[in-house]
């Protein structure tokens, strides 16, 4: 059974331009095959850098992002690899065309002009679309929470994508089921390099630890380990001495 896969990543500050460079391949991309780069396609938006179009969209609505605002949400939309290969070695271009068409429809219906860029990647292991949505609410404010702020909202986003993909024969995996989990893992396997290069803001301690405080705590840790080691040595010295004297 092939599944529809939809994941999001929230982008703040510097990670907007980083993600943009990655998706446009203007930065070295180790997991992408440069011989297939010409098969990638811009589906929504133009060739301008992501940072530029996101800022433009925010400014058009009079918004001033705070330092920790989610300025852009990256959507990764894909299907199980076997959906495109049908068990063969080659990718069926017709399957990619259908998938791409439905994905663009989905993005336009759900986000309209807020989706400032969408790119089809054909140069990684499995075809997938990476799309970028500026989460501007009805009042013109950046408000990621109103789109993706709860488990329920995330679930609805995945439901809607699966519903859109249903005519292609793709299933929405049962939530929390093994099948879904395996597929997601496999998907992340495909884009592992991208994920590794990205700053996962949710995991950055808040406030971020400075290099200095990190250094301090490392020194303390080494110091404690040293003391323990010294104490152990001290305990053993008499034994060594005793042993020698025998």
Question: Which region among 94-102, 118-126, 169-177, 226-234 touches Mn ion (by CB under 5 A)?
Answer: 118-126
The contacts of residue 192 (CB under 8 Å, 6+ apart) are 31
Q: Report if residue 7 touches Mn ion, rule: CB under 5 A.
A: no
Tell me the C-alpha distance between 231 and 139, whole Å.
64
Question: Per-residue contact track with Mn ion, 167 to 196, x per CB under 5 A?
Answer: ------------------------------
Cβ–Cβ under 8 Å, residues 70 and 135: yes
Which of 12, 114, 121, 164 binds Mn ion (CB under 5 A)? It is 121
In 10 A of CB 11, how many CB atoms? Answer: 25
Q: How far is the CB of 51 from Mn ion (least distance, A)?
A: 18
Please report how close the Cβ of residue 195 comes to Mn ion at its closest, in angstroms: 10
Bond from prior residue into 195 cis (ω within 30 degrees of 0): no
Looking at the Cβ atoms of 114 and 121, the one nearer to Mn ion is 121
Of the candidate spans 2-10, 117-125, 157-165, 169-177, the one that interacts with Mn ion by CB under 5 A turns out to be 117-125
C-beta closer to Mn ion: residue 95 or 121: 121
Choose among 55, 63, 35, 52: nearest CA to 124: 35
Give the binding range for Mn ion (CB under 5 A) out of 58-66, 86-94, 121-129, 199-207: 121-129
- What is the smallest separation between the CB atom of 130 and Mn ion, expressed in angstroms? 5
- Rounded to a whole number of angstroms, the minimum distance from the CB of residue 192 to Mn ion is 11
**Sole window of 62-70, 115-123, 175-183, 210-218 interacting with Mn ion (rule: CB under 5 A):** 115-123
Interface with Mn ion in residues 45-104 (CB under 5 A): none
- In angstroms, give the least distance from the CB of 128 to Mn ion: 6
Q: Which residue is nearest to Mn ion (CB)?
A: 121
Cβ atoms of 49 and 25 within 8 Å: the answer is no
What secondary structure letter does DSSP report for 31? T
Residue among 31 and 180 whose Cβ is closer to Mn ion: 31
**Which H or E run contains 245?**
helix 211-245
Please work out, in degrees rounded to the nearest 5, the angle formed at the alpha carbon of residue 152 by the alpha carbons of 150 and 156: 120
Give the Cα separation of 107 and 147 in Å (integer): 13
Task: Give least dist CB 73 to Mn ion, A.
Answer: 16
Residues in binding contact with Mn ion, number by CB under 5 A: 1
Query: If you count them, how many residues does the chain have?
Result: 246
* Least distance between Mn ion and beta carbon 75 (Å): 11
Q: Is the dihedral of CA 203, 154, 173, 105 positive or negative?
A: negative
Q: Which is nearer to Mn ion, 70 or 76 (CB)?
A: 76
Where does this chain bind Mn ion (CB under 5 A)? Answer: 121
């Amino acid at each position: 059974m092939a599944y529809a896969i939809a994941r999001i990543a929230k982008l703040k500050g510097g990670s907007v331009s980083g993600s943009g460079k990655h998706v446009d391949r203007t930065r070295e991309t180790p997991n992408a095959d440069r011989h297939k780069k010409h098969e990638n396609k811009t589906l929504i938006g133009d060739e301008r850098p992501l940072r530029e179009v996101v800022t433009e969209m925010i400014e058009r609505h009079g918004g001033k992002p705070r330092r920790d605002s989610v300025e852009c949400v990256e959507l990764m939309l894909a299907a199980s690899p076997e959906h495109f290969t049908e068990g063969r070695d080659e990718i069926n271009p017709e399957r990619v065309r259908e998938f791409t068409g439905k994905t663009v429809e989905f993005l336009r219906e759900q986000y309209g002009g807020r989706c400032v860029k969408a790119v089809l990647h054909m140069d990684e292991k499995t075809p997938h679309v990476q799309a970028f949505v500026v989460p501007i609410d009805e009042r013109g404010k950046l408000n990621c929470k109103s789109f993706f702020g709860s488990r329920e909202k995330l679930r609805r986003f995945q439901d809607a994508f699966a519903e859109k993909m249903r005519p292609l024969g793709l299933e929405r995996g049962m939530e929390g089921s093994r099948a879904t989990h395996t597929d997601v893992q496999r998907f992340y396997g495909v884009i592992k390099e991208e994920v590794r290069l990205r700053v996962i803001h949710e995991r950055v301690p808040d406030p971020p630890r400075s290099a200095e405080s990190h250094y301090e705590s490392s020194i303390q840790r080494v110091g404690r380990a040293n003391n323990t080691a010294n104490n152990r040595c001290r305990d053993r010295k008499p034994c060594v001495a005793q042993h020698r004297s025998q």
